[in-house]
Homo-oligomer: A and B are copies of this chain.
Amino acid sequence: MESILLHEDRLFPADEATRQVARGLYQEIRHLPIISPHGHTDPRWFAENSHFTNATELFITPDHYVFRMLYSQGIKLSELGVPRWDGGATESDPKKIWQLLADNYHLFAATPSRLWLDTVFHDVFGLEEMLCPANATHYYDVITAKLQSDAFRPRSLMDRFNIELIATTEGALDSLPHHAKLQGTGWEKRVITTFRPDDVVDASREDIVDNIAKLGTITGEDTSTWQGYLNAIRVRREVFRRHGATATDHGHPTANTADLSKRECEALFEKVSTGNSNAQEQELFRAQMLTELAGMSIEDKMVMQIHPGSFRNHNSRLFSQFGRDKGHDIPTQTDYVNALRPLLSKYGNEANLNIILFTLDETTYARELAPLAGHYPCLKLGPAWWFHDSPEGMLRFRHQTTETAGFFNTVGFNDDTRAFLSIPARHDVARRIDCRFLAQLVVEHRLSETEAASIAKKLTYDFAKQAYKLG
Residues of A near any B CB (own CB < 8 A): 4, 6-7, 9-18, 68-69, 71-74, 106-112, 115, 130, 311, 314-318, 327-333, 335, 337-338, 341, 344-345, 348-349, 351, 360-363, 366-368, 370-377, 379, 387-388, 390-393, 399-400, 402-409, 440-441, 443-448, 451, 455
Contacts and interface: CB of A to CB of B under 8 A. Distances in A.
A239 to B, nearest CB: 30
A380 to B, nearest CB: 9
Given A107-B406, A111-B402, A388-B366, A375 B445 contact: no
A111 B314 contact: no
A392 B440 CA distance: 12
5 contacts: A14-B443, A15-B15, A111-B406, A390-B403, A392-B403
A393 B407 contact: no
Nearest to A16: B17
Given A318-B349, A363-B363, A367-B333, A408 B68 contact: no
Contacts of A377: 71-74
B444 A10 contact: yes
Given A112-B403, A366-B387, 18 more contacts: A13-B444, A14-B17, A69-B406, A72-B375, A72-B376, A72-B379, A72-B405, A73-B408, A106-B408, A111-B403, A315-B348, A317-B348, A318-B349, A330-B375, A331-B367, A363-B363, A387-B403, A392-B399
Contacts of A399: 392
B327 A332 contact: no
Contact of A445 (B10, B341, B363, B404): B10
A170 B73 CA distance: 30
A409 B73 contact: yes
Nearest to A387: B404
A16 to B, nearest CB: 8
A109 B108 CA distance: 36
Contacts of A330: 337, 368, 371-372, 375
Nearest to A328: B375
Which 3 pairs from chain A and chain B are nearest by CB?
A7-B445, A10-B445, A14-B443
Copies of the polypeptide in the assembly = 3
B445 A11 contact: yes
A362 B368 contact: no
Nearest to A327: B375
B111 A14 contact: no
Contact of A444 (B11, B111, B373, B447): B11
B337 A331 contact: yes
Contacts of A315: 344-345, 348-349, 375-376
A371 to B, nearest CB: 5
A314 B440 CA distance: 34
Q: Which of A10, A106, A379 has the most CB of B within 10 A?
A: A106
Contact of A109 (B7, B333, B366, B455): B455
Given A316-B345, A317-B349, A375-B68, A337 B311 contact: yes
Contacts of A13: 444
A5 B74 CA distance: 46
Contacts of A106: 408, 451
A368 B406 contact: no
B374 A367 contact: no
B406 A12 contact: no
Given A14-B440, A18-B14, A455-B109, A4 B448 contact: yes
